[in-house]
Amino acid sequence: MLVGRIITYPQKNNSAFCQPHAVSDDELEAIKQKKMAELQKAAEARAALSSITAPVHLTDSNFSTEVARYPVLLVDFWAAWCGPCRMVAPSIDQLAKEYSGKVVFGKLNVDENPRVAGSFGIQSIPTMMIFKNGKAVDVIIGALPKGAIEAKLKQHLSSGSIYG
């Protein structure tokens, strides 16, 4: 005995679905212009990223703007009196050069900018946060070696395009 199942789908009202239609030359030109503008904007963003080879200075007043501006941003929360922060600084500077065009690095002094540090609950430094498309996606706490910071960063770069 053969047992099976027959699935019937309800009839679809054709008016509820997109009907193919001819595209006028004006519509086609508008689509082309829109796509060209998108491609140009993406190219300009990549060019701007590649020119940033040192950490950007972040403050309470520019933090939100800068996080939104860059597809991938690693923020180093630090203080001048912090010995481990000074140990990590050369690694951050090197990574900023090596990852120019892919990642922007930023530095935020927690003593001078307590609002941002407090909003993220930063209680120990150095703390590094990785932001992708404006959202915090990872945290690194402590004075880790350059290779460990880079490995954590690579996890977020391997997940596809940083521009979308």
The model's pLDDT over 139-152, given as tens digits with 9 standing for 90+, comes to 999 999 999 999 99
Spatial distance between the Cα atoms of 158 and 146, rounded to a whole number of angstroms = 18
Question: What's the order of all strands across the beta sheet hosting 135-141?
Answer: 56-58, 104-109, 72-78, 127-132, 135-141
- Of 58, 82, 143, 153, the catalytic one is 82
The amino acid at 120: F
Q: Is residue 58 part of a domain?
A: yes
Q: Is residue 15 part of a domain?
A: no
Q: What range does the domain containing 118 cover?
A: 53-157
- Of 52, 72, 74, 85, the catalytic one is 85
The model's pLDDT over 45-88, given as tens digits with 9 standing for 90+, comes to 666 666 788 999 999 999 999 999 999 999 999 999 999 999 99
Q: Considering its fold, how many domains does the chain have in total?
A: 1
Is 18 designated active site?
no
CATH number of residue 112's parent domain: 3.40.30.10
